[in-house]
Structure 1
Amino acid sequence: PADQTQLIPITHSVLLHVFFFIFLFALFGCLKDDLKNKLFGQHVASEIIFKAVTGFMSNKNPKKPLALSLHGPTGTGKSFVSQLIADNIYKKGRDSQFVHLFSATHHFPHQDQTATYKVRSLQDWIKGNVRNCERSMFIFDEMDKMPPGVIDVTEPFLDFYPRLDGVSFQKSIFIFLSNAGADNITQTALDFWKKGRDRKEIKLKDLETSLSASVFSHNQHGFFQSSLIDCDMLDAFIPFLPLEYRHVVQCVMAEMKARGLQPDKDEADKLARDLVYFPKPENVFAKSGCKTVANRINFYSRVLASL
């Protein structure tokens, strides 16, 4: 009987390890497939996000939370990627009670209430949710519209502290989304295009330093002179490149497939041609990226006929 009693925790431990590795195997495969088949024109972001998320989730005892800052023009996939990450980690995906979305224009609309936001609307809320689930995810959208100083309240949560007020934040994920730095990213992509170089030659090192510097020095941005940047609390600044015509076509085809429609290349080309492109006179990049694709599909006759 004594031996049998000793076997119970050992068996339980083995089962936990088995389930953990099954989860990791599924996460690695599904996230990789999603980034490959649903996110277009973002080779830099895809590689970094896959390595960062899978590496973090495979570590049973991370020393600090995962903190990623996603930057780029409108419609390039920043919000979409945050949803993909949630969908691959949580059973209910983005609808999980452990995934928390903050919108700067909704949750932090008034510049003169920074102190209130810091304490009541953010710090206590984060602490309470992590106390309920250490694997919580927090997504901060529209960082370029957030009042400067508000986000700094998260600094102690992103540091290497094992616990704060009895709460461990080390297994949580923080994702920051912003259009700030889009001009720098677009100019780099345009320079490569003008030189006839493949955009896949663009590396993180071509953008990360200038990106973090421009965000830190922008006095209307939520990261303006932020301690999160000054104290290296963010694990990566991830650039999202502006999308070209061919990427928009891929977005349209993927959306058709997601709706259960037969992908129609001619209709996808037609929709992509109808978008506005910039800068003039080159007209290389879609001004709104793929942001309007889902609704615009409804405008095209052959798509409507298949519904």
Structure 2
Amino acid sequence: MKLLKAAVIFVLVPTLTPAFDPLSVSVVAGSAVMAWHLFSSDSWLRCRFQECCNKNATVNFTALKAQLDNRLFGQHLAKDVVLKAVLGFSNNPSPKKPLILSLHGWAGTGKNFLSQILAEQVHPAGLRSKFVHLFLATLHFPHQDQVKLYKEQLQNWIRGNVSACPSSVFIFDEMDKMHPGVIDAIKPFLDYYEEVDGVSYRKAIFIFLSNAGGDLINKAAFDFWSSGKRREDIQLKDLEPLLSVGVFNNKNSGLWHSSIIDRNLIDYFVPFLPLEQRHVKMCVRAEMTARGYAVDEKIVQAVADEMTYFPKEQKIYSDKGCKTVQAKLDIHEDFVMRDMKARA
């Protein structure tokens, strides 16, 4: 505020000077413009020093694809669906409704990872951005007897944040643990309305993450494997109808009998397939590279072998996906460091 006061003083002082001084007027005008650039809510100068809202929700498709290719493994369906959905939404100057994605699959398959990558492409600070909001069912909506209060708070929270930034991103994790009815509070914001109480929600992005439907996805993947078909041959049409019906009728899902599904407001039900050992190895290599280690295939194999796999007889899929890769690599870290020192 000191700079703003200085600008105001510059404006007032020349008015007390009896003689007209063009140079003083120029300084005054320049100071006023500078003050506007510093304190206007979306001025380019202010946005250089603090985060500003990306109001148009533009996404760099090439950058998003590169991130998904390099960091998300074994999920050809999720990559394809999200890339197409985001590209269409981002390129549409006047969408009719917010983009709504529902990600399903067992833990460790990459749902959180993908939502973080997507959030980073809309707002570079990702989960640290004041325009990206993460809700955890067990943390933010823990008590069943307070559902009515949660619904009111959720509506107020989303209304306020979208008013501040139309392209806000909302991520709802643990949807399978959310009390039924809570999420229906935001249904008016997801529907085909131009505005709700003077606020447009059409450029916002809503992402639901859930383990619900994971069993259906795993069975479909195993059926493909059993029939000799390639994993990569699984298409969205093979799984999406099963997911939408299964989640709607699942009493252990926050989307149980939800009006959001009933009104067909979810754009895509995105399946995350169970990860095979080759995908776990990709996760290990990526983690080693991220830590600055040279990739040692013996360590990669050792970490992959420590994971547990299902079905019991065939042992094809990791039952925790890549979720425990970091922790298991920690155990081998001493060996990795000693090997790096020896090579050095």
Common topology (TM > 0.5): yes
Q: Which blocks of at least 5 consecutive residues in structure 2 are unaligned?
A: 1-53
Q: Is contact 2:119–2:126 with CA below 8 Å preserved after alignment?
A: yes
1:30 aligns with 2:63: yes
1:44 aligns with 2:77: yes
Counterparts of 2:337 and 2:92, CA distance in 1: 47
Q: Is contact 1:31–1:88 with CA below 8 Å preserved after alignment?
A: yes
Matched ranges for 1:191-202 at <5 A: 191-202=223-234
Counterparts of 1:280 and 1:296, CA distance in 2: 22
Residue number among 79, 82, 86 corresponding to 1:53 in the alignment: 86
Q: Is contact 2:127–2:134 with CA below 8 Å preserved after alignment?
A: no
Structure 1 residue identity aligned to 2:308: V
Counterparts of 1:50 and 1:265, CA distance in 2: 31
> How far off its partner does 1:204 sit?
0.5
Structure 2 residue identity aligned to 1:189: A
| Counterpart in the other structure of 1:154 | 186
Structure with the bigger RCO (C-alpha within 8 Å, sep 6+) is: 1
| Counterpart in the other structure of 2:107 | 74
Matched ranges for 1:86-235 at <5 A: 86-120=119-153, 122-235=154-267
Q: Is contact 2:180–2:256 with CA below 8 Å preserved after alignment?
A: yes
| Counterpart in the other structure of 2:305 | 273
Cα displacement string for residues 227-272 of structure 1 (whole angstroms, at most 9, x for unaligned residues): 0000001000000000000000001101111222212222111100
Percent identity, please: 52
Q: Is contact 1:158–1:233 with CA below 8 Å preserved after alignment?
A: yes
Cα displacement string for residues 130-170 of structure 1 (whole angstroms, at most 9, x for unaligned residues): 01100100000000000001000111101111111111100
Question: Which one has the largest radius of gyration?
Answer: 2
> How far off its partner does 1:295 sit?
2.0
> How far off its partner does 1:273 sit?
0.8
Q: Classify the secondary structure of the residue corresponding to 2:247.
A: helix
Q: Classify the secondary structure of the residue corresponding to 2:60.
A: helix
| Counterpart in the other structure of 1:10 | none
**Matched residue count:** 284
Q: Which blocks of at least 5 consecutive residues in structure 1 are unaligned?
A: 1-19
| Counterpart in the other structure of 1:245 | 277
Counterparts of 1:124 and 1:156, CA distance in 2: 12
> How far off its partner does 1:91 sit?
2.5
1:288 aligns with 2:320: yes
Counterparts of 1:159 and 1:304, CA distance in 2: 54
Cα displacement string for residues 90-115 of structure 1 (whole angstroms, at most 9, x for unaligned residues): 12122110000000000011112111
Q: Is contact 1:298–1:304 with CA below 8 Å preserved after alignment?
A: no
> How far off its partner does 1:278 sit?
1.0
Counterparts of 1:269 and 1:55, CA distance in 2: 40
Q: Is contact 1:297–1:303 with CA below 8 Å preserved after alignment?
A: no
Q: Classify the secondary structure of the residue corresponding to 1:207.
A: helix
Q: Classify the secondary structure of the residue corresponding to 1:238.
A: strand
Cα displacement string for residues 11-46 of structure 1 (whole angstroms, at most 9, x for unaligned residues): xxxxxxxxx9xx95x711111011111111100000
Farther-moved stretch of structure 1 (225-234 vs 51-60): 51-60
Farther-moved stretch of structure 1 (66-75 vs 266-275): 266-275
Q: Is contact 2:212–2:252 with CA below 8 Å preserved after alignment?
A: no
Counterparts of 1:250 and 1:241, CA distance in 2: 15
Q: Classify the secondary structure of the residue corresponding to 1:100.
A: strand
Cα displacement string for residues 72-123 of structure 1 (whole angstroms, at most 9, x for unaligned residues): 0110000000000011121212211000000000001111211111112x11
Counterparts of 2:178 and 2:117, CA distance in 1: 24
Cα displacement string for residues 43-81 of structure 1 (whole angstroms, at most 9, x for unaligned residues): 000000011112211222211100000000110000000
> How far off its partner does 1:281 sit?
1.1
> How far off its partner does 1:220 sit?
2.2
Counterparts of 1:286 and 1:304, CA distance in 2: 27
Farther-moved stretch of structure 1 (170-179 vs 213-222): 213-222
| Counterpart in the other structure of 1:4 | none
Structure 1 residue identity aligned to 2:189: F
TM-score (norm 2): 0.80
Q: Report runs of 4+ in structure 1 exceeding 4 Å deviation.
A: none
Structure 1 residue identity aligned to 2:235: K
> How far off its partner does 1:302 sit?
3.0
Structure 2 residue identity aligned to 1:242: P
